[in-house]
Structure 1
Amino acid sequence: MTLETAPEPIATPAATMVIFRQNPDGGAPLLLMVERIKAMAFAGGAAVFPGGKVDPADFDYAQMLGGPLPLDEAAARLAAIRETIEEAGLALGLKGVDDPADCDAPRAALHDGESLQAICNRFGWEPDFDQLVPWSRWRPPAFERASRVFDTRFYLVDAGNTTPLATVDHTENRALFWASAAEVLEKADKGEVKIIFPTRRNLERLAMFGDFDAAAAHAAAHPVSTVLTYIDKREDGNWLCIPDGHGYPVLQESLDQAMRG
């Protein structure tokens, strides 16, 4: 067994939001997935959770807000909130929002370059960081191209028993859908959607829980530390792996089969 390692390149900070809502038909909770357009350089054509890069304006807003969270953590939560408005048309993780889906004007303003800070000031919103439950933090191996190395934090958010009407942005994403974690994995196995390695591992972990509270409790029992992927060279081929101890039930996938972004 040979592990492939190298000095870690600089990674771009990013954040993503795993949105839960109660299944109106009963059963496992539904998660929001967005399908990225094929032309995107990262995860083109794949189904992912809403999210994206942490912008300088997110750090500026986090610094202005202050509070007990480290600056990079607060900025990442702001990025997850902002990106979810931009990509899915849902204003979650905020106080003062009457209807998460009623955010057409803020969404358009974000697409036009207005900052989340300015939008919150204009609409009387306030970030509520406690709504975002830290779930995991991932970065790819050192041998990936530096231009596509992301240090991504995942957060769980509970949309409750409402039926938020998420809508696709048609810029970075071409479709979106609600499904249980198990259903998304089944779609991927049937070839109906594509999912990258981190998404598959997170869906497998999320599929272990019957509601948001159970997933949040599991997250609390596994404090977030960075999941550093690596390649294990074996006699039966190369495997893309993650270390044990982060709460994931599946730790590896054949490198020939894994979609890596």
Structure 2
Amino acid sequence: MEHELTNHPISGEPLPIATPAATMVIFRANPDGGAPLLLMVERVKAMAFAGGAAVFPGGKVDPADFDYAQMLGGPLPLDEAAARLAAIRETIEEAGLVLGLSGVSDAANCIDARAALHGGESLQVVCNRFGWTPDFEQLVPWSRWRPPAHENASRVFDTRFYLVDAGDTMPLATVDQTENRMLFWATAGEVLEKADRDEVKIIFPTRRNLERLAMFVDFDAAAAHAAEHPVSTVLTFVEQRADGSWLCIPDGHGYPVLGEPLGVAMRG
């Protein structure tokens, strides 16, 4: 397990307490050929964090996720297992897709599971009801982001990103109409182009991850790249340059672009 950071390794600033969160980057084969499609959800503008932005499905790790992880046991550290459960649960809630679980065969159960989660039931209860079992190996660790003290300390998230392969199927994803107003499938490059045309908004971490994801022709290539770059926490920092302040990330995490001008960088 990664050593917990208490101070920023570059600035030395104390890091604020962060809420654990998890995100699922869902791949599916492009029926038209070419780069794989990724699922993006557009958050409602009223949301305090990333309001109006297009993001990957995900959210906070709940206490019930930790309880379920504790019950399951296994080789993963508790916080890592809980984060993977949260990514699975949030994807069901936000997009209606049941991924990262084994034993799923009935589409009607998926609809019922989503309703149950929205009704306040835990993922553990839902899985027990339908005979589903978490399959953590389906979730490939991709990255982990945590903003430092100069960000808004009231909504600081320590977010783990996972890659999941939906294969060559056409999974039916539907928006939840609560936290998210719409969803769409697009290649990483297409999402970046939409953002450059102001058709969607993307926050700094999403942009950096899309640039990295755009390097790969399929899920296997992205997963191989992830294996070559073991996850360690990405901490942003502000760098003063001749043309002004830049929001940056350190090299070595696998990202092809390491920063952009602070004035144009969209943060949560």
By the TM > 0.5 criterion, same fold? yes
Question: Structure 1 residues 18 and 47 mapped into 2: Cα distance closer, same or farther (>3 Å)?
Answer: same
* Structure 1: stretches of 5+ with no match in the other structure: none
- AA in 1 matched with 2:192: L
Please show how residues 203-242 of structure 1 align to structure 2 within 5 Å. Answer: 203-242=210-249
Query: CA offset at residue 145 of structure 1?
Result: 2.2
2:27 alignment counterpart:
20
- Whole-Å separation in 2 of the counterparts to 1:99 and 1:47: 29
Q: Percent identity?
A: 84
Any idea what SS the aligned residue of 2:163 has? strand
| Residue number in structure 2 paired with 1:177 | 184
Deviation at 1:4, TM superposition (A): 5.3
Q: Which runs of 4+ in 1 moved over 4 A?
A: 99-102
1:21-170 paired onto structure 2 within 5 Å: 21-98=28-105, 103-170=110-177
Pairwise CA distance, 1:251: 0.1
Pair 181,101 (structure 1): closer, same or farther in 2 beyond 3 Å: farther
CA distance in 2, matches of 1:111, 1:118: 13
SS in 1 for 2:222: helix
Deviations 1:17-64 (A, max 9, x none): 000000001000000000000000000000000000000000000000
In angstroms, what is the RMSD of aligned CA positions? 1.2
Alignment check: 8 A CA contact 2:30 2:168 kept:
yes
TM-score normalised by structure 1 residue count: 0.97
Alignment TM-score, normalising by the size of structure 2: 0.95
Within 2, Cα distance between the matches of 1:212 and 1:102? 27
CA drift of 1:240 comes to 0.3
Q: Distance in 2 between matches of 1:140 and 1:233?
A: 18
SS in 1 for 2:159: strand
Deviation per CA, 1:145-175: give whole Å up to 9, x if none.
2221000000000000000010000000000
Query: Structure 2: how far apart are the matches of 1:45 and 1:4?
Result: 31
**What is the rounded CA distance, in whole Å, between the counterparts of 1:154 and 1:203 in structure 2?**
12
Structure 2: how far apart are the matches of 1:206 and 1:225?
A: 17
- Unaligned 5+ runs, structure 2: 1-9
Following the alignment from structure 1 to structure 2, what is the Cα–Cα distance between the partners of residues 234 and 99? 56
Partners of 2:54 and 2:201 within 8 A in 1: yes
Specify the code of the residue in structure 1 equivalent to 2:125. Answer: A
Shift of 1:71: 0.1
Instruction: Say if 1:15 and 1:51, in contact at 8 Å, map to a contact too.
Output: yes
One-letter amino acid of the counterpart of residue 31, structure 2? P
Structure 1 counterpart SS, 2:21: strand
State the AA in 2 paired with 1:204. Answer: E
